Every structure is written in C-alpha cells, then in structure tokens.
Amino acid sequence: MANQERRVGNALPRIRTDRTVLCLLKPKYAELMVRFRIENKHHLTRWEPSRTTYFYTPVFWKAQLAANIKRFQSGESCCLVMLNHEENEVLGVCNFTQIARGTMQSCQLGYSLAASHEGQGLMQEALISAIDYVFLELELHRIMASYIPDNKRSADLLSRLGFEIEGQARQYLRIDGSWQDHVLTALINPFEPGP
C-alpha cells in the first residue's frame, strides 16, 4: 500500500525507443486508437475478448483513455500505447494491469501489435523498455503473462524476453467468445537483490 500511495500523482510515463514512443495516450487522441482497432479488428479477434460495436467508437476510447490515466495515477494499471515517432499512428498496445501491491508486487501483461507491423521486432523493442520501467520505476517484483498454446508469435516473444513457463491453466480466459486454456508465464524483477 505504501508504494501505491507514493505513486499517486506521479508523472505519466513517456518512453522513447529506437522506433516507438510509449505513453498513456491522452483522450483527445482517441481517433488514433479507433483507427488501430478498426484496421486490426480481424487480426486481433482470435486473441482477444469479444468486442461490441461500441468498442470501435471515439466515445468509447475517449472514456477508456481517461480511465487509463486515472488508473495509472491510482496505481492500478499502466496501459501504454505504442506510437510511431511522428506520433500519428498507433502501432500497438502494452498493458500492465491488475497491479497488486502488498506481499505480491505483481501485474499482468497483455499486448497487441498492428498486423502491418508484425515481424519487425517492434513489440520486443517496446516491451524491453516498458518492462524496465515497470521493474525500475513501478518497482514491481513479478510480471505475469499468459497465452493460448497455439499462439506461437506470443510464445516466442515471451521466451525471447526471458519469461519462464510456470504452468498451464484450464479455461483460464474467455477469448473470442469461449473459455480457453492458457500457458502461464512470469518474469521476476532482475534488478532486485536476491531472495
């Protein structure tokens, strides 16, 4: 709880990598998210929860982006939007959610990349910097991520980032309309002193 209180009011993160800028997007840029979501609707359907038509509207994203900023300030989540350097296109998202403090000091990681930017190492590049931020600035101990067993791109990405498989959970998340088994992985903060 102490950490959470200390973070209230902290500056919003803005992380520049070789090819991206990661930030909590302001609600006035909701149209960029709408474009990303509409253009990648088909690409992401198989790997995400079912969406209503409202999800693809500026009204939804204005409210969602405002809520993401509030949730960052209250220590609940850090939902980063990945922009190109010109900041006129959303390339993807890296969401660190369900931040638990107390004895846990953990969060869940989820991510999505535009179909047109797959296969270029962009998510890996963004996550290397985002994960450093989560460990060094948010001082979390463990990042957890899970994937559907046949999501090879996600499995390969997590493996390259050093996430280790900890188990398999049956009917873990409701994705694309049905409960799906997931492989559970985690990364422990390497910057902390040992146990």
Ligand X SMILES: CC(C)(COP(=O)(O)OP(=O)(O)OC[C@H]1O[C@@H](n2cnc3c(N)ncnc32)[C@H](O)[C@@H]1OP(=O)(O)O)[C@@H](O)C(=O)NCCC(=O)NCCS
Q: Site residues (CB under 6 A) for ligand X?
A: 44, 47, 111-113, 118-124, 147, 151, 153-154, 156-157
Q: Residue 167 corresponds to which tokens in the numbers above?
A: 């188990």
* 3-state SS class at 55: helix
- 85 vs 153 by CB, closer to ligand X: 153
- 106 vs 151 by CB, closer to ligand X: 151
Q: State in angstroms the smallest separation of the CB of 43 from ligand X.
A: 6
Beta strands in 32-135 (DSSP E): 78-83, 90-100, 106-113
Q: Residue 183 corresponds to which tokens in the numbers above?
A: 């492989």
Q: State in angstroms the smallest separation of the CB of 126 from ligand X.
A: 8
Task: Return phi, psi of residue 98, to 5°.
Answer: 50, 45
- 106 vs 112 by CB, closer to ligand X: 112
Q: Residue 18 corresponds to which tokens in the numbers above?
A: 């070789």
- 78 vs 109 by CB, closer to ligand X: 109
Q: State in angstroms the smallest separation of the CB of 55 from ligand X.
A: 15
- 3 vs 56 by CB, closer to ligand X: 56
Q: State in angstroms the smallest separation of the CB of 27 from ligand X.
A: 24
39 contacts: CB under 8 Å, gap ≥ 6: 114, 115, 116
Q: Report the 10 Å Cβ neighbour count for 46.
A: 11
CA 13 to chain centroid? 14
Residue 151: name the closest of 193, 112, 102 by CA.
112
Q: State in angstroms the smallest separation of the CB of 4 from ligand X.
A: 26
Q: Which residue is nearest to ligand X (CB)?
A: 121
